[in-house]
């Protein structure tokens, strides 16, 4: 009885079809070998999922900077064939590293991206593990169904690595879910894809902002 009193109540979160897309980077990296130098190039892995259907997307990019992040997010929306109402990133302030002082601000760039795609951004709440549980679970599945299956394969460029990731993610989305009569892809196609907003006609272009100050010689450096 004491254990029952101490236990916190919990509810199952219900997610509406086509409403949200959870996005994050995996903690582990994949890599390819440069055929000219033999150097092993480590890559970050972007992961996203629609919580209603649990439909997943993943791809490798060279870094977690804002340009690579938004490129991966754009590829994700193209693969989905539409845009959800809300993008839910997990702690992008610490996840996306600014390469230098000329790197665009993550919040402003992501806002520009959301405006271009006619969606909005609502970050996962701090210290609210259920907000990010779905995408974190997807990251674990990506480890077992993508990372583990590719560990003995060698790649020589980013394109071939991403081709292999795409094949494994497709297999993951087509695998029957536990205690369900359908797979992620079937539920996405039946319940969600037609509810996504249309993609814009033009691709997103990242804008670079800079606040300039007048120097002592009364000039501004551009």
* pLDDT tens-digit readout, 186-197: 999 999 999 999
Between 105 and 124, name the one with better pLDDT: 124
pLDDT at 101 over 60: no
Beta strands at 55-61 and 40-50: parallel, antiparallel or unpaired: antiparallel
Contact 20, 85 (CB under 8 A): yes
CB 47 within 8 A of CB 142: yes
Count of CB atoms situated within 10 Å of the CB of 209: 10
d(CA 56, CA 172): 8
Q: Give the mean model confidence (pLDDT) for residues 52-59.
A: 94
pTM of the model: 0.82
Q: Is the pLDDT of residue 118 over 90?
A: yes
pLDDT digits (tens, 9 = 90+) for 144-159: 999 999 998 999 999 9
Q: Does pLDDT of 84 surpass 70?
A: yes
DSSP the chain: -HHHHHSPP--PPP--TTTEEEEEE-SS-EEEE-TTT--EEEEEEEEEEETTTTEEEEEEES--SHHHHHHHHHHHHHHHTSB-SEEEES-HHHHSPP-STTSPPHHHHHHHHHHHTT-EE-PPPTT-HHHHHHHHHHHHHHIIIIIHHHTT---SSHHHHHHHHHHHHHHHHTSBPTT-SSBHHHHIIIIIGGGSBPPPSS-------------TTS----
- Among 83-97, 142-156, 207-221, name the one with the lowest average pLDDT: 83-97
Residue 100 predicted with pLDDT over 80: no
């Amino acid at each position: 009885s004491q254990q029952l009193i101490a236990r916190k109540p919990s509810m199952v979160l219900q997610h509406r079809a086509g409403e949200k897309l959870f996005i994050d980077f995996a903690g582990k990296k994949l890599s390819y070998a440069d055929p000219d130098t033999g150097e092993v190039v480590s890559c970050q892995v972007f992961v996203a999922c629609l919580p209603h259907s649990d439909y997943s997307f993943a791809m490798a990019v060279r870094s977690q900077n804002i340009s690579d992040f938004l490129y991966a997010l754009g590829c994700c929306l193209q693969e989905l064939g539409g845009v959800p109402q809300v993008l839910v990133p997990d702690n992008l302030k610490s996840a996306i590293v600014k390469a230098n002082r000329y790197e665009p601000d993550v919040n402003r760039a992501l806002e520009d991206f959301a405006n271009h795609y006619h969606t909005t951004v609502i970050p996962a709440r701090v210290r609210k593990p259920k907000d990010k549980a779905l995408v974190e679970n997807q990251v674990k599945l990506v480890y077992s169904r993508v990372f583990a299956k590719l560990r003995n394969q060698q790649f020589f460029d980013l394109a071939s690595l991403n081709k292999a990731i795409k094949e494994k993610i497709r297999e993951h989305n087509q695998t029957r879910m536990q205690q369900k009569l359908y797979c992620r892809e079937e539920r996405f196609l039946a319940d969600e894809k037609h509810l996504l907003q249309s993609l814009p006609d033009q691709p997103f272009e990242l804008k670079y902002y800079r606040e300039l100050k007048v120097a002592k010689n009364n000039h501004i450096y551009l």
